[in-house]
């Protein structure tokens, strides 16, 4: 992982399934402390700063967002803010279950014939009644997503967003608080959408990713013409020949430098 994802229900479940305690990282502890500081503020809020439709490797779309939580503490009335990113993503542990030699059985094999049972009929110490035991090992981790993209899920998150239109309606909204919308592929390539929230929500992913908006037919023709012109310009024989010559010259210079060093 490029950075440690924040704690969430899905990540805790992944560690529980792997029979491992969830490691509370510093950022999780700091966020918990922040929540405790502002818990009595009736006007505390969370503002989504960026909302992204992500197309995963499997072709499905998910929602990922960044948000800032803010509120005042009760003692001093001081404003506290905490920024989190990568929300909607979590670390999914990859595990394998194998059978290994049971050391307790090897140390006392006769214990298997002397077993105490509890009131439900289950052995009180089942770990020493078999020559083998089952263990779960962590063999890796992968980036997973917890919010499948639907219009309903997007609208629910949109309630915490601030659009450009909101600047005209509320005096407390700051321009830097306006939410940005984007589409991205799981390999990290992201395109910021210049249109409205509704266009971002309702538009086809491929169209939004290609054009950066939900264009009209005339806009499509204009953008495609500009793109084609740039492709033709930079893929012309003259440009390709010059690029090849520059590459050859660079490799030749590098070879001369290597010979000089030897």
Structural contact between residues 146 and 126, judged by C-beta atoms closer than 8 angstroms: no
pLDDT tens digit sequence for 100-137: 777 766 566 555 455 555 556 565 555 555 666 677 77
Predicted confidence (pLDDT) per residue in 208-234, tens digit: 998 888 888 887 788 778 777 776 766
Region of poorest pLDDT, from 57-66, 91-100, 131-140, 149-158: 131-140
Q: Which residue has the tokens 């394998």?
A: 96
Kindly report the pTM of this predicted structure: 0.72
Q: Output the CA torsion sign for 175, 177, 178, 181.
A: positive
The predicted-structure confidence for 232-254, as pLDDT tens digits, reads as follows 766 656 555 555 555 445 544 45
Angle CA 131–134–139, to nearest 5 = 140
Question: What is the distance of C-alpha 89 from the center of its chain?
Answer: 4
pLDDT digits (tens, 9 = 90+) for 164-208: 887 777 656 677 789 999 999 998 789 999 889 999 999 999 999
What pLDDT is recorded for position 2? Answer: 44
* Plot region of 5 (φ>0 → left; ψ -120 to 50 → alpha; else → beta): beta
- Residue 9: other Cβ atoms inside 10 A: 9
> What is the number of alpha carbons within 13 Å of residue 50 lying toward its C-beta?
17
């Amino acid at each position: 992982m490029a950075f440690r994802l924040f704690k969430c229900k899905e990540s805790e479940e992944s560690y529980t399934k792997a029979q491992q305690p969830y490691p509370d990282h510093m950022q999780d502890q700091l966020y918990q402390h922040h929540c405790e500081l502002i818990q009595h503020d009736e006007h505390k809020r969370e503002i989504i700063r960026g909302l992204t439709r992500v197309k995963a490797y499997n072709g499905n779309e998910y929602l990922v967002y960044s948000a800032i939580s803010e509120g005042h503490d009760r003692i001093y009335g001081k404003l506290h803010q905490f920024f989190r990113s990568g929300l909607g993503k979590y670390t999914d542990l990859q595990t394998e279950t194998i059978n290994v030699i049971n050391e307790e059985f090897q140390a006392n094999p006769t214990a298997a014939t002397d077993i105490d049972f509890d009131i439900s009929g289950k052995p009180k110490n089942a770990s020493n009644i078999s020559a083998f035991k089952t263990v779960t090992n962590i063999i890796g981790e992968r980036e997973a997503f917890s919010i499948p993209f639907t219009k309903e899920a997007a609208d629910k998150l949109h309630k915490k967003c601030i659009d450009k239109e909101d600047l005209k309606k509320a005096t407390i909204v700051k321009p830097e608080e306006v939410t940005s919308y984007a589409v991205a592929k799981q390999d990290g390539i992201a395109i910021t959408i210049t249109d409205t929230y509704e266009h971002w929500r309702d538009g086809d992913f491929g169209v939004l990713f290609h054009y950066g908006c939900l264009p009209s037919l005339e806009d499509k023709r204009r953008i495609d013409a500009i793109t084609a012109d740039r492709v033709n310009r930079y893929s012309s024989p003259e440009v390709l020949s010059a690029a090849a010559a520059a590459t050859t010259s660079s490799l030749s210079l590098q070879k001369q430098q290597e010979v000089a060093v030897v």
